[in-house]
Structure 1
Amino acid sequence: MHSYSTAHNRVRTIFFLHGAAFSSWVPHIPLVQERLGLGHDELGGILLAAAIGVLAVMPIAGRMADRFGSERVVRYSGLFYFTAVGIPAFMSDYVSISIAMFALGFSGAFLDVAMNANGLHVERVKGRSIMSGLHGFWSLGGFAGAGIAAAWFALPISNYYHLPFVLSLFLIAHIIAQTGLLSDAQTNAILTSAQSETDEDHTSSVKPKERNMFLLLLPFGVCAFIGQFGEGVITDWATVFMNTELSSGATMAAVGFAIYSFAMAATRLSGDALVTKFGRAQVLLTSSVLASLGTFIITLSPHYIVAWIGCGIAGMGLAVILPLLLSAASKATGKGGGAVVSIIAATGYSAIMAGPPIIGAIGEVAGLVTAFGLTATFLAMIIPVYLLTMRSRLQIAGNG
């Protein structure tokens, strides 16, 4: 008999490793910029190449996860990803690093969709919310990867060896962890058996399956777009805002971002318990309020210490929106895996990419205070979307 706890722990490990690998690469970005003599616009170009890679994989990753099994796609996309993360740091010109960044974005999103799909399968057989906790482990991996990089850079060891060393360890851990993942075939067998025992529940769960999948998931995607838009803005612009508008200096601005990151990780790790206790609808609405409130506090802050409070509140609000929506959409539609993840994740990734340049353009014309105020207002739009289109769907999703 397959151990669901083992499968849960293995997919947690995959999330952790994904976050650790990505955050191991991030400290190398300024080093690459300096080594190749890239301007800010050229650096933006290679980062855009990674974003294009992410979008390119979205139409196919979910289908492949559903067709071949999410556990198999996790296995092979992970081999590609943990190799691809290290390649850009060693490229010698703009064209080659752009190609390498495309491969990084493509493989990272491929693994991201597959591991989220597998997490949804584990959630369905366990019968309780786990997606927020999985994303919390991604955040923990991010902390670990960044911490290891900082320690490595402080030691008298060449930075040249950092990525090959840590990524080799992550790849070995991935190969070990993926062997214990729950297979999609097992999930389907378990759910089919459970449905055959309860005809009444089976009948009610089939109805959402018969509806148009895209239209059914559209409100979830809209809310994901709003939440991820805010996350992209805070991630890329909060430190800039504190530095330029509040004269915080780089160090104090970094403290604000650290508070935001810690609040997000802690909330994600407790998010599943909150969903179980209060329900998905209540947590989603509260998250929207906190995200909007925190961003407004940053916007109106007279001092960077007040902005730190806003960063913490915004981190709490933005933390569980995406994992909650993935989980709720799977429950409400009766479908798990790539079909749900690819639609919602695609809108989320699009928002993360669209948010920072849109806010930059608004900031250039009207100032960052106005840009952050508009972002805060936009984050509150989850509430009317819920009231108009999602109330019944989240009632289907329930609290588990």
Structure 2
Amino acid sequence: MAAPLITPSPAVRRARGAVFALFFTNGALFANIIPRYPEIKDTFALSDFWYGATIALFPLGAICSGPFAARLIRRITSARTATMGTVGIGVSLTMVGAITVWRASMGGAAATAGGGSPWSQGMAAVVAYVLFGVVYFAGGAFDSLTDVGQNAHGLRVQRSYGRSIISSFHGGWSLGAVTGGLMGVAATQAGLPLGWHLMAAAILFIVVGAVAYRFTLPGSDDGRPEGGVDAAAAHADAVGAAEVRSGGAAGPAETGVGTLRLSPTLVVALLTVMALAGGLIEDAASTWSTLYMRDELGVVGGMAGLAYVTLLASQTAGRLSADRVVDALGPRNTLFIGGALITVSTGVAVLWPSVASTLVGMVLAGVGCASIVPLAMNAADDIPGLPAGSGLTVVTWLMRLSFLLSPPLVGLVVQATSLRAAMAVIPIAGLLTLATAWVLAPRARARSGGRTPDLRPAARL
């Protein structure tokens, strides 16, 4: 029998908007700095390897803080974790901008763009680089807490909705990243100092995140209300007031992405590779596409950031419609089609490089990768044989490995060859998507609408 359709209460609908806003701010904060990566590379006089290693400090911070996310969520709730992380990212990026401006004011080695090791420069320049690394690392640590917190809260809202809405939240991240990327392009074109640019962006999106927090679901993430009778009443209104249109109690709904009945360890491994593939696409676009457009294809000024913005724009469109596509095609077929789009379009762009082929490849890759990470996280949230939420914590944390390892490794390859090697990562990620999509069940499956992930430590695997 078909699962009953659930009408969410007004409080749950407001919570959906709040989670969308948190995803939006997370994407916008991060993306503001990406069009200015070439400026940072030139200012600190970094070689391709050292540039990649420096960018990898952000995901390194994320990996270091990731294991503490579940504990923090249990202590202060997922909504507070996501909001606190948003503030931390904003403050960290503001300091990144100020330190970069300070380093640029020193002159000297900064004039030799792409020179080499940061340790071969003067003492003041080394101090500036170390401070940059510390605050950039901290930004990544806060980003990981935000990521796990907003995904956990989004999945909680999804269970109250009784249908899949997780892709729309990731669409909010992509929309925020497009917004932030365009802000970065405009700031670069206008010659706005990096420090003022990032501080203004941080203030704006911290305010958005703080307002969004007021409309998140009340109560703790294990289903228990906080703050006594008044909070209990609010919690009941938000979570328990969902009405079934057929007139009965809220029952199971088609919100779960199932996996084949395999060893839980194997399923987690395959979903991790799948999420890594999605991460590699975003990382290659964010870390290298602006440099590729500027240094390989001759695009000047802020317009060099258009490759990244183009991928994000098409990814946004794909994610905002992905839930309906997954309902129509099923999770597995959605990824098979997406993986093929990524592989073919960006493969052609790498073999026959031009501005036109690169931008077309980015458009199709953005559509193709739209569902990879949301489907991997949705499937990881409820793997049979594992404590609820453990798979999500593990896959989210390990996905950060792609952001940590790929910049310095790709930097070494680029240094030995050319920037085309960096862009070749994207069709390889498309092949990884095709190789792992089979682990998903052909169709979404029913699961209880009232369960909340327990977010116990991933070490239980």
Other-structure match for 2:149: 114
Cα deviation 1:277-314 (Å, max 9, x = unaligned): 22212212211111112221212226442333222211
- Closer, same or farther: CA 39–122 of 1 in aligned 2, 3 Å: same
Separation in 1, partners of 2:192, 2:291: 31
- Closer, same or farther: CA 166–337 of 1 in aligned 2, 3 Å: farther
Other-structure match for 2:159: 124
Separation in 1, partners of 2:355, 2:289: 11
| Letter of the 1:262 counterpart | A
Separation in 2, partners of 1:95, 1:324: 38
Q: Is the Cα–Cα contact under 8 Å of residues 20 and 145 in structure 1 kept in the other structure?
A: yes
Q: Which has the higher helix share?
A: 1
Separation in 2, partners of 1:257, 1:77: 24
Query: Structure 1 residue 355 and structure 2 residue 406: aligned?
Result: yes
Shift of 1:323: 1.2
| Letter of the 1:87 counterpart | M
1:90 to 76, 84, 98: 98
Shift of 1:43: 4.4
Cα deviation 1:95-144 (Å, max 9, x = unaligned): 22221111111111211111111111111221222222112211221222
Q: RMSD value over aligned CA atoms?
A: 3.9
| Letter of the 2:368 counterpart | G
Separation in 2, partners of 1:19, 1:32: 20
Shift of 1:63: 3.6
Separation in 1, partners of 2:11, 2:403: 36
Other-structure match for 2:46: 39
Where 2:215 maps in the other structure, the secondary structure is coil
Separation in 2, partners of 1:54, 1:217: 20
Q: Is the Cα–Cα contact under 8 Å of residues 66 and 337 in structure 1 kept in the other structure?
A: no
Separation in 2, partners of 1:353, 1:275: 30
Cα deviation 1:134-171 (Å, max 9, x = unaligned): 12211221222333344456669765433333322322
Cα deviation 1:55-88 (Å, max 9, x = unaligned): 1011111343245421231233233232222112
Other-structure match for 1:72: 80
- Closer, same or farther: CA 237–150 of 1 in aligned 2, 3 Å: closer
Where 2:216 maps in the other structure, the secondary structure is coil
Q: Which runs of 5+ in 2 are unaligned?
A: 1-8, 103-127, 225-238, 450-461
Q: Is the Cα–Cα contact under 8 Å of residues 55 and 287 in structure 2 kept in the other structure?
A: no
Question: What count of residue pairs does the alignment treat as equivalent?
Answer: 388
| Letter of the 1:73 counterpart | T
Q: Is the Cα–Cα contact under 8 Å of residues 114 and 338 in structure 1 kept in the other structure?
A: no
Other-structure match for 1:276: 327
Which range is displaced more, 296-305 or 130-139?
Answer: 296-305
Q: Which runs of 5+ in 1 are unaligned?
A: none
Q: Is the Cα–Cα contact under 8 Å of residues 62 and 338 in structure 1 kept in the other structure?
A: no
Query: Structure 1 residue 171 and structure 2 residue 206: aligned?
Result: yes
Q: Is the Cα–Cα contact under 8 Å of residues 331 and 375 in structure 2 kept in the other structure?
A: yes
Cα deviation 1:318-367 (Å, max 9, x = unaligned): 22210121123325559998634332222322113333444444455576
Other-structure match for 1:299: 350
Q: Is the Cα–Cα contact under 8 Å of residues 69 and 148 in structure 2 kept in the other structure?
A: yes
Query: Structure 1 residue 346 and structure 2 residue 397: aligned?
Result: yes
Separation in 2, partners of 1:337, 1:172: 33
Where 2:217 maps in the other structure, the secondary structure is coil
Other-structure match for 1:101: 136
Q: Is the Cα–Cα contact under 8 Å of residues 229 and 348 in structure 1 kept in the other structure?
A: no
Other-structure match for 1:54: 62
Q: Is the Cα–Cα contact under 8 Å of residues 284 and 425 in structure 2 kept in the other structure?
A: no
Cα deviation 1:161-202 (Å, max 9, x = unaligned): 3333332232222221111112464774759x99xx999969
Q: Is the Cα–Cα contact under 8 Å of residues 359 and 371 in structure 1 kept in the other structure?
A: yes
Question: Greater relative contact order: 1 or 2 (C-alpha under 8 angstroms, separation 6 or more)?
Answer: 2
Shift of 1:370: 6.9
| Letter of the 1:14 counterpart | L
Shift of 1:394: 6.0
2:30 to 16, 22, 28: 22
| Letter of the 1:39 counterpart | L
**Which entry has the higher C-alpha Rg, 1 or 2?**
2
Q: How does 1:165-314 map to 2 (within 5 A)?
A: 165-183=200-218, 185=220, 188=223, 214-238=265-289, 247=297, 249-250=299-300, 254-301=305-352, 303-314=354-365
Q: TM-score, normalized by length of structure 1?
A: 0.80
Separation in 2, partners of 1:156, 1:254: 15
Where 1:11 maps in the other structure, the secondary structure is helix
Q: Is the Cα–Cα contact under 8 Å of residues 56 and 408 in structure 2 kept in the other structure?
A: no
